[in-house]
Structure 1
Amino acid sequence: MNTMTRVVEKQPHVVFIPFPAQSHIKCMLKLAKLLHHKGIHITFINTRSNHKKLVESGGAHDFKDIPGFQFRTVSDYPSSGAEDDGVEPMTPTLAEVWMYLADNFFDSFLDIVSGLESTPATCIICDGFMTYTNMITAAEKLKIPIILFWTMAACGFMGFYQVKVLTDKGLLPLKDESYLTNGYLEMEIDWIPGMEGCRLKDLPQYMLVTKLDDPIFKYHYGTAQAAHNVSYMIIHTFEELEARLVNEIKYTFPNVYTVGPLQLLLNQIEEKENKRTGLNCYSLWKEEPECLQWLESKEPGSVVYVNFGSLAVMSLEDLTEFGWGLVNSNHEFLWIIRTDLVKEQPVVWPQELEEEMRTKGFLAKWCSQEEVLSHPSVGGFLTHGGWGSIIESLSAGLPMICWPYSGDQRTNCRQMCNHWDVGMEIGRSVKRDEVEKLVKLLMDGLEGKRMKEKAMQWKKMAEMATSSNGSSSLDIEKLANQIINFS
């Protein structure tokens, strides 16, 4: 009697590795949820302190007890032993976490993957900024395909990618620090389709250094070039927004998927399944529902929403200038002020300003940003220019004022103002008169009206991209099928 060996196909199983910051985790959780909906098992790896925050804020609630979706954690800071004595350990800074993971994440990751015996991992989706932990080497060791996910716009990725190009052209590093102020940074970079008019000063400031051995420079240099060492790449944008730039990236890299805006894709699933269309919490901080309650009493399009993201910090002087500018604009505002927004000191307002702000504004520590942006009472957004904030604002059809802080935010701001025509930039040195002027333009001026109309056009384009036959929907299908084929 012939015996036949039955071949059992592996269950597609993706291990997600986010960079340990709010916007990266939020974006990757949304993609993980979409892929899980396609029948793919998910293991999502957070650092211990970030996962604690996610659970305490309710951000992990929607994933609780879902078959085929699990969280795993890695240590992100050396144990002090204090927790064993019942003492709450201090939360490490992002810089401390980054340094610790450089030496420890690789082994912890291999331990997690080796423990997935019942449903072995068949694919890794790694944040593009986590390759410094040797994840490409880990994928090779495990013989598992790896996909890099850039939780940013195509312009943001291309901005970082220019580190090598500019170095090869002899434009970097800077000759000396005088080049930061002598007009050199006004030089236009004219070789990137879709980023015409981009200047050196519009690229991430981390690359504007005077020495090639600068640690942060080397990190970003290596991170961007690591894209050449993988066969698949995901970018959180939609083709219609950055068509020429996406085409350029696809010409350089073999398999690129554009999957944004992710929230609109999730909304599509809810609508198809006749579920309540709503927004889920993916936040490391507890969101305050009072923000939405306050907005309910306001006139349509009358409120300025202000949020500088999860990492930006400023001086108390800058915060005060923003405050006076908002108050003097005579527009009501909803302002998110994190407890750590001001550098190394508590927020203490001048008494007169505090009284004015109580009358015209609502201050909170965190909110459900997508719900706020889509609220009819909100008419404009004062933002730091993080990509998560910009793509959420475009999805809501809202114009912006941008105060770029770090990373890809300078590049985003340039594109937002000069190519997408939905924003205005505010100077790095904050002045209350400029804040007042730009808020009035945004909310009342002809410029604001024009930008609002353009933002509404991008909103419609984003909705088209995430419709059943839209570019992002098709790319999600292609991505899911590729992952299934890996197994």
Structure 2
Amino acid sequence: MPVAEPSFSNTHLDVLTGRQLDLSVPSSHGHIVVFAYEAWGHARPLCNLAARLVQSRNIIVTFFTTPAFYDRVMSELLRNFDADGLGLDRIRVITLIHTGMHSLDNTVLNDSFAQAFDKLAEGDPVQCVHTGVTHEPVSPPKAVIIDFFGLPLLQAVRRLSGVGEPIKVFVWFAGAAAVVFRLCAPERLGGIGNLRAKSEEEAIRKHVRVEQAAGDIALGNDGAVVRIPGLPAIYDYEIEPQKILGGRALTGAMCLAAYEVFETCDGIILASPESYEPETTAALRQWMAGTSRPVYCAGPMIAQGTHADSVEKGQSESIAEVDDFLESTMKHNGKRSLLYISFGTVYWSMEPKKIWTFLDVVLELRIPFIMSHSSRWATVPEEVADKVSRSGNGLLVRYSPQQHILNHPATGWFLTHGGHNSIIEAICAGVPMICWPFSFDQPLNAIHLTENLNVAYEIFQGRTGPGLKPIHRLGKAPEGTLDSVKEEAREILLNAFGEDGIRKRENVQALRQRTLDARSKRGTSTHDIHVFLDTL
């Protein structure tokens, strides 16, 4: 079933589409191009960064996106501004041609980016595919901020940088710094090393495609010990604790592109604050400094404008039901009594019976909950929907206003896949978590939150198989059965809504303050954004 597109307020969009770009901005103040692929977890925080850039300096930002994301980008930008919209007129949103079947099928999109960027660099007008609006020339871009696996984008910019002043290319990474080490760092720092060379070697040895070999190496399957700065030692197979959609070859292709982008970029911009992974971030900066390249921590990427809450609520067709349920829970169960459940807009379990088993325990314990299931692969069986409806203790919605729910006083816990945006949003709302990760930075986030920060529980019922060693934090290998899921769910939920959960909530409050402080006038992320702009 396809994901229902969120609805948007015409009034909000009129504020954006009816504006005119302030072309009086002197060219010396700079022009930055930003672009993230069609993954909302990448594009949404990039909207926040674009807003912070124009709020920090009198510059122009050209925000490239796709027709499918145009309305969402426009609305998310609006969430970052006050009623006067000061600075909003200096962000140009321009859509490119995208005919791919999924977010990693970007051949046409990459070509469209190259053509549009060429026009920007040459001082020619650029037309938005979605609106048909032609945007007049401004000063040539001084820097480009691209998605971490956008190798064709980086190559396109490099081709144009051969003439005139070089255009700097920075990697936009809306994920944990720890995963950069895993994908790109030398082996002595806990990384894979040269992923391209190793994948080509492995492909020949196993008679498989290079992309398949890269996926196998990156996600791990040998039981090798991985030591990443700032994290406890883990086994390589913990980086993919659940079977993932799309297969390893698709993931491997992205990992290969990411490796080469990180190897050749001019610097990295992280969507998290330095306080989230201080040891890992310090090690990343030290490693990158060896090649004279900076790392900037720009987070938290949380909208804080006048329209932030109202626009987000307008994106969900279920907002009336959500608000009614939140208020009812507050009235009958009190503060911090609700469990919010979401696996993000993309991920969904290939073993959904485990999710329904977890819900059975939630219903049995009479914990009120809201579950968002916006992934296009998510289908709720009729018998599950009926059971939830009859209980009167749960609400199932396709697309929920996540930040709104997390900030409501009724919300006590968040069951999450551990995506980076969800983690930071929960921290900023002061809500502790139960992490059920799939792959990439999600399990690394889960380990960091449970082992280092003590603000979360981790669900271990994931991939099992012959030869897998016990995870040291368990002392035994996960069983992966529905009975073990039920047992683990009961134990975690009773702890979460008990004395141990109270301690984790106190811990997350301290982390929340450090995270929000990073965005203050003298905060670390504010400092990093200004230093980044100074280099241009």
**What's the TM-score, normalizing by structure 1?**
0.79
Q: Is the counterpart of residue 321 in structure 1 residue 344 in structure 2?
A: no
Query: 2:33·2:62 contact (CA, 8 Å) conserved in 1?
Result: yes
Letter in 1 for 2:454: D
Moved more, 58-67 or 346-355: 58-67
Q: 1:117 aligns with which of 137, 143, 146?
A: 137
Q: 1:43 to 1:94 in 2, by over 3 A?
A: same
Q: 1:137 aligns with which of 132, 154, 158?
A: 158
Structure 1 unaligned spans of 5+? 1-7, 79-91, 271-275
Letter in 1 for 2:91: F
| Structure 1 counterpart of 2:234 | 198
**SS of equivalent residue, structure 1 residue 393:** helix
Q: 1:289 aligns with which of 305, 319, 322?
A: 319
**SS of equivalent residue, structure 1 residue 44:** strand
CA distance in 2, matches of 1:443, 1:139: 57
CA distance in 2, matches of 1:246, 1:301: 32
CA RMSD of aligned residues (A): 3.5
Letter in 2 for 1:43: T
Q: 1:367 to 1:351 in 2, by over 3 A?
A: closer
Letter in 1 for 2:183: F
Query: 1:53·1:284 contact (CA, 8 Å) conserved in 2?
Result: no
CA distance in 1, matches of 2:39, 2:511: 27
Q: 1:329 to 1:95 in 2, by over 3 A?
A: farther
**SS of equivalent residue, structure 1 residue 330:** coil
Q: 1:135 to 1:286 in 2, by over 3 A?
A: farther
Moved more, 26-35 or 161-170: 161-170
Q: 1:220 aligns with which of 255, 270, 278?
A: 255
CA distance in 2, matches of 1:280, 1:386: 24
Q: 2:491 aligns with which of 432, 437, 440?
A: 437
| Structure 1 counterpart of 2:527 | 474
| Structure 2 counterpart of 1:243 | 278
Query: 2:61·2:92 contact (CA, 8 Å) conserved in 1?
Result: yes
Query: 1:417·1:424 contact (CA, 8 Å) conserved in 2?
Result: yes
How big is each residue's C-alpha offset from its partner over 1:149-195, in whole Å with a ceiling of 9 and x where there is no partner?
11112123223325874255999859889x99xx96543223x3212
CA distance in 2, matches of 1:53, 1:184: 38
How big is each residue's C-alpha offset from its partner over 1:72-99, in whole Å with a ceiling of 9 and x where there is no partner?
0111107xxxxxxxxxxxxx43244x35
Aligned-pair distance for 1:242? 1.5
Q: 1:73 aligns with which of 83, 92, 95?
A: 95
Q: 1:334 to 1:284 in 2, by over 3 A?
A: same
CA distance in 2, matches of 1:229, 1:132: 12
Q: 1:15 aligns with which of 27, 33, 42?
A: 33
Letter in 1 for 2:62: T
Aligned-pair distance for 1:49? 1.9
The structure, 1 or 2, with the larger RCO (C-alpha pairs under 8 Å, 6+ apart) is 1
| Structure 2 counterpart of 1:4 | none
Q: 2:224 aligns with which of 169, 182, 187?
A: 187
Q: 2:374 aligns with which of 338, 346, 371?
A: 338
Letter in 2 for 1:258: C
How big is each residue's C-alpha offset from its partner over 1:381-405, in whole Å with a ceiling of 9 and x where there is no partner?
0001100000111112221111112
Q: Is the counterpart of residue 161 in structure 1 residue 195 in structure 2?
A: no
Q: 1:280 to 1:123 in 2, by over 3 A?
A: farther
Structure 2 unaligned spans of 5+? 1-25, 126-135, 207-212, 463-479
CA distance in 2, matches of 1:260, 1:51: 23
Letter in 2 for 1:259: A
Query: 2:120·2:140 contact (CA, 8 Å) conserved in 1?
Result: no
Query: 1:320·1:349 contact (CA, 8 Å) conserved in 2?
Result: no
Query: 1:160·1:220 contact (CA, 8 Å) conserved in 2?
Result: yes
Aligned-pair distance for 1:377? 0.8
Q: 1:241 to 1:354 in 2, by over 3 A?
A: closer
Count of residue pairs brought into register by the alignment: 439
**SS of equivalent residue, structure 2 residue 263:** helix
| Structure 2 counterpart of 1:93 | 102
**SS of equivalent residue, structure 2 residue 521:** coil
Aligned-pair distance for 1:379? 0.6
Query: 2:226·2:233 contact (CA, 8 Å) conserved in 1?
Result: yes
Q: 1:301 to 1:282 in 2, by over 3 A?
A: closer
| Structure 2 counterpart of 1:416 | 449
Q: Is the counterpart of residue 44 in structure 1 residue 44 in structure 2?
A: no
Letter in 2 for 1:231: D
Aligned-pair distance for 1:475? 1.1
Letter in 1 for 2:298: V
**SS of equivalent residue, structure 2 residue 366:** coil
**What's the TM-score, normalizing by structure 2?**
0.72
| Structure 2 counterpart of 1:89 | none
**SS of equivalent residue, structure 1 residue 71:** strand
**SS of equivalent residue, structure 1 residue 129:** coil
Query: 1:11·1:119 contact (CA, 8 Å) conserved in 2?
Result: no
Letter in 1 for 2:327: E
| Structure 2 counterpart of 1:402 | 435
Letter in 2 for 1:72: I
**SS of equivalent residue, structure 2 residue 370:** strand
Query: 1:302·1:379 contact (CA, 8 Å) conserved in 2?
Result: yes
Aligned-pair distance for 1:258? 0.6
CA distance in 1, matches of 2:64, 2:338: 38
CA distance in 1, matches of 2:387, 2:486: 12
Moved more, 278-287 or 224-233: 278-287
**SS of equivalent residue, structure 1 residue 148:** strand
Letter in 2 for 1:295: L
Moved more, 278-287 or 150-159: 278-287
| Structure 1 counterpart of 2:510 | 457
Aligned-pair distance for 1:337? 1.9
How big is each residue's C-alpha offset from its partner over 1:394-439, in whole Å with a ceiling of 9 and x where there is no partner?
1122211111123321221121221222111212246344333322
**SS of equivalent residue, structure 1 residue 93:** coil
Aligned residues with identical type, % of pairs = 20
CA distance in 2, matches of 1:229, 1:214: 23
| Structure 1 counterpart of 2:387 | 353
